[in-house]
Amino acid sequence: MMDLYELVESIVVMLIGWIDQWVPDQLDFLISPTSIHAYVVLGMAAVILVICLLNVVVMIWIERKFIARLMDRRGPTEVGFMGFLQNVADGLKLFLKEVITPQGVDRWVYVMALVLYIGSSITVLALVPMSDRFFMANVEGGLFMIFAIFTLAPFFIFIAGWSQNNKYSLIGGMRSAAQMISYEIPLMLSVIGVILMAGSLSISAIVNAQSSIWFIIPSFIGFFVFIIGVLAEVERIPFDLPEAEAELVEGWTTEYGSIRFGLIMFVSYLRGYVGCALAVFLFFGGWLGPFTAYMPPEAWFLIKVYILFMILVWLRASAPRIRIDQLIQIGWKRLLPLAMLNIVIAVIFTTMGWI
């Protein structure tokens, strides 16, 4: 089967061949080989973005349905078609409201911080493949680049909270910075064990190295540290201290309304998708799975991502929010030593030739 580039290229060539007869000679540069390559890249970006948009909608639906079952709430399970139309109603409500900018904000920083937060989170999608044939960019150091871009968001959250001239928003931004410092180091260290066992920073190489055994088995401690770090990075309950609507109104998002707030919620689920995808790549064999003749690798990848996301939803419905001092102590006093222990175990497995 063709990979994503070949598929999009065939569609672009077909469309250009169809409209070539209407293009004047003076505009031939619009259908040159260089232009065709640019169209293919834009087409691939559009395909990836549409698929990720659909994934976010499905993840919101899964979260609402699952939490409703756990808490015995009827609304999300009954409204609309199996509760799915509730997402459409809430989306329209957010995106059709008037966009209001409060007085006293630093307008340029207020807007640009949100743009950078959303843009950096969407940019990561270009580096997250769904299989070895369905990707936009498959670079050798893809894993490093994903983490480099993924961990920029707390900086943008901090300056967004500062720009709003609101004490609740400022505290939310400061909590985000504290979370970032406390959890990014254990998060990065938890991945070193996988890199040692796979011998590469390429996502494809890491996935292919798990053809015989998933890394969750020798690196279970690393997975535990990684998933806690991801929860803190994407700021989901019980690590949603930067928002914490009970004590900070809505934290750093207090002064963002209508479509801006809707985009923030969309990006939070998008970052959750990226976090679950990284966990699947690193510990659960990525897109590898049995019965590949009947089920494509992209389907295996999405099944694993959705199952892992349901575990995060389960934690949200079960665990209470922790205090900020507890959050920081867990990062430095618990997760950091466990991440170092995971590296030692990975070195032993690699040295003994068990992987």
- 185-209 mean pLDDT: 87
DSSP classification of residue 125: G
* Cα gap 178→194, rounded to integer Å: 26
241-290: pLDDT as tens digits: 777 777 777 778 888 878 888 888 888 888 888 889 999 999 998 888 87
284-333: pLDDT as tens digits: 988 888 776 678 888 888 899 999 998 888 888 888 888 888 888 888 88
- 60-72 mean pLDDT: 82
CA distances to 1, 37, 213, 219 from 265, in Å: 36, 34, 36, 32
pLDDT for 175 equals 82
* Range with the poorest average pLDDT among 31-45, 59-73, 118-132, 256-270: 31-45
**DSSP H/E element including 197:** helix 167-198
Q: Specify the higher pLDDT residue, 222 or 19.
A: 222
Q: Give Cβ neighbours of residue 179 (< 8 Å, ≥ 6 apart).
A: 154, 232, 233, 235, 239, 241, 242, 327, 331
* Range with the poorest average pLDDT among 1-5, 117-121, 188-192, 200-204: 1-5
CA distances to 304, 329, 351 from 61, in Å: 17, 34, 45
Q: Which two tokens stand for residue 285?
A: 């064999």
CA 9 to centroid of chain Cα atoms: 27
pLDDT at 1 over 50: no
Q: Which two tokens stand for residue 178?
A: 């504290």
* Cα gap 45→59, rounded to integer Å: 21
* Range with the poorest average pLDDT among 68-72, 78-82, 170-174, 312-316: 78-82
SS3 of 139, please? coil
102-136: pLDDT as tens digits: 888 888 888 888 888 888 888 888 788 888 877 77
* Cα gap 224→339, rounded to integer Å: 9
* Cα gap 271→91, rounded to integer Å: 18
pLDDT for 304 equals 92
Q: Specify the higher pLDDT residue, 46 or 335.
A: 335
- H-type helices in 138-166, by residue range? 142-150, 153-163
Q: Specify the higher pLDDT residue, 81 or 206.
A: 206
